[in-house]
Amino acid sequence: MSIANKNILLGITGGIAAYKTPDLVRKLTALGANVRVVITASAAEFVSTLSLQAVSGNPVHHHLLDPAAEAAMGHIELAKWADVLLIAPATANTLAKLAHGIADDLLSTLYLATTADIYVAPAMNQQMWKAPATQNNLHMLKEHGVKMIGPAEGEQACGDVGAGRMVEPVDIASLLNEQHALTRHNDPTHNTLAGKRITITAGPTREPLDPVRYISNHSSGKMGFAIAQAAALAGAEVTLVAGPVSLNTPEGCKRINVTTADDMLAACQSVATSTDIFISTAAVADYKASAVANNKIKKTGEELTLTFIKNPDILATISARDDRPFCVGFAAESQNVEAYARSKLEKKNLDMIAANDITTEGLGFNSDQNALHVIWSDGEKRLPATSKSELATQLLSLIAERYSTALPS
Ligand code: PMT
């Protein structure tokens, strides 16, 4: 999975972030990609075509109706040349044109004419990003199989703060490099998951005992965040319900932060009706204190006895709904892994369960690698130890396969 020797057509549209695109070209070529640039008239106001030509080593393409350009590499030839069409920055106007198939310049025409993987890195004022029209266009593009990279949040050129900044060139390049093979248009995972609404729980929950203490576990959230990233790259609309973890939100995912199992249940219930697939990687505390002390519990004797009561089972609650989504559970086990996983599959009324044996050092909780034994009613597959991001891709491919089988024909 890399962009080495891949042909990347970079479309630049007219936003202030266009000034970063010579750097983006350099980052892509440093990873071995062949880059050609198509620039819109308004983008040319923000960045010099001469710089782009110098860093890409290729002439910059401007006009649809340019006899000289057509004689060299015509627009259809350019569309066929590309393995990847990356539009960065993509303005609100560009998103609107692409969503509605308006082909009134070279870039929007290439968008219609190419079969390449298409990635779009939006950049605009935060209010324009939030506007219902932009969000509708975004939804349509995702359904058409376009992958969104960002936008990032933060301070904007106009002084506003919020979502709408173009993701940094270094991050766009490494994301394409790591993941672009995931999102090929002929990839069944992509075809099935594009536009689907996927909710993923991740990380631990934290159950308070008093104002300064809590019980929790060693979940880092890495497994769930890797699945969220892979699902977003496969074109899904991802909601990540995250317990207390110190991980950055994967690009393109909506994140809801929670602390306790009760919080996590409320967050999951609030999005359940608009969820097609629910993936529960969270290590939810099974019990919580029967009463949280108002003041710090004092050290009074040699022993301390606390009473715990059962937490709600989030996954079982979601899978018991009349409008239940396709439900995937996880099981972290230290013994009888398969038997316990199979019993959870049945008891929690799941479509699939991914079991991990946490006795193998370096796998499972708080590590970068894992191995899964995925089980469903009439099948199973072992996914051997590898990075959580690779495993996330493999698991999503299985989920996509099972999900499309489960859909009413
Ligand atoms: O976060 P990482 O450090 O990357 O580690 C990943 C992981 C090991 C936490 C993950 O791969 C994993 O196995 N998660 C499930 C942990 C677990 O032990 O689950 P469980 O056997 O307690 O629960 C079974 C399933 O029910 C899980 O999908 C769980 O999310 C869900 N559950 C459990 C209890 C509860 N009250 N509500 C739930 O939804």
Instruction: Find, among 230, 262, 222, 223, the residue nearest to 246 by Cα.
Output: 222
Tell me the per-residue pLDDT of 22-33, one tens digit each, with 9 for 90 and over.
999 999 998 888
Domain 197-406 has CATH 3.40.50.850: no
Q: Is the dihedral of CA 51, 55, 57, 60 positive or negative?
A: negative
Query: Best mutation site among 219, 220, 229, 372 for ligand 1, i.e. most ligand atoms within 8 A of its Cβ?
Result: 219
Residue 182 is predicted with a pLDDT of 46
Residue whose CA is at the smallest distance from ligand 1 atom 33:
284
Tell me the per-residue pLDDT of 105-147, one tens digit each, with 9 for 90 and over.
999 999 999 999 999 999 999 999 999 999 999 999 999 999 9
% of residues, the chain, pLDDT over 90:
73
Would you place residue 234 in the very low, low, confident or very high pLDDT band (cuts 50, 70, 90)? confident
How many angstroms separate the alpha carbon of residue 315 from the centre of ligand 1? Answer: 10
Instruction: Find, among 142, 186, 9, 196, the residue nearest to 84 by Cα.
Output: 9
The residue among 349 and 189 whose pLDDT is bigger is 349
How many angstroms separate the alpha carbon of residue 301 from the centre of ligand 1? Answer: 35
Residue whose CA is at the smallest distance from ligand 1 atom 19:
331
Q: How far apart are CA 387 and CA 329, in angstroms?
A: 19
Q: What average pLDDT does this structure show over 62-69?
A: 75
Secondary-structure percent of the chain, ordered helix, strand, coil, rounded to 5: 40, 25, 35
Q: Which residues of 69-78 are buried (b: 16+ CB within 10 A; e: fewer)?
A: beeeeebeeb
Domain range summary for the chain, segments of one domain joined by +: 7-181, 197-406
Residue 84 is predicted with a pLDDT of 94
Instruction: Find, among 105, 91, 192, 185, the residue nearest to 138 by Cα.
Output: 91
Query: Best mutation site among 229, 287, 315 for ligand 1, i.e. most ligand atoms within 8 A of its Cβ?
Result: 315
Q: How far apart are CA 143 and CA 141, in angstroms?
A: 5
Backbone angles phi, psi at 389, to 5 degrees: -70, -40
Note the CATH architecture for domain 7-181.
3-Layer(aba) Sandwich (3.40)
Q: What average pLDDT does this structure show over 281-287?
A: 98
How many angstroms separate the alpha carbon of residue 282 from the centre of ligand 1? Answer: 4
Asked if the domains 7-181 and 197-406 are classified in one and the same CATH topology, the answer is: yes
Q: Is the dihedral of CA 292, 329, 222, 148 positive or negative?
A: negative
**Residue 284: CB within 6 Å of ligand 1?**
yes
Active site residue 158: yes
Residue whose CA is at the smallest distance from ligand 1 atom 14:
281
Q: How far apart are CA 117 and CA 182, in angstroms?
A: 10
In 99-243, the DSSP E strands lie at: 117-122, 147-148, 152-155, 161-165, 197-202, 207-208, 214-215, 237-242
Contact 392, 378 (CB under 8 A): no
Tell me the per-residue pLDDT of 72-116, one tens digit each, with 9 for 90 and over.
667 888 999 999 999 999 999 999 999 999 999 999 999 999 999
Instruction: Find, among 114, 99, 251, 81, the residue nearest to 170 by Cα.
Output: 251
Contact 339, 355 (CB under 8 A): no
How many angstroms separate the alpha carbon of residue 355 from the centre of ligand 1? Answer: 9
Residues listed for the chain: 409
Q: What average pLDDT does this structure show over 313-323?
A: 97
Residue 69 is predicted with a pLDDT of 67
Vertex 352: Cα angle to 199 and 265 (nearest 5): 40
Residue 390 is predicted with a pLDDT of 82
Does residue 14 sit in helix, strand or coil? coil
Contact 283, 233 (CB under 8 A): no
Cα-based torsion angle of the residue sequence 107, 52, 48, 95 in order, rounded to the nearest 10 degrees: 30
Tell me the per-residue pLDDT of 163-177, one tens digit each, with 9 for 90 and over.
899 999 999 998 888
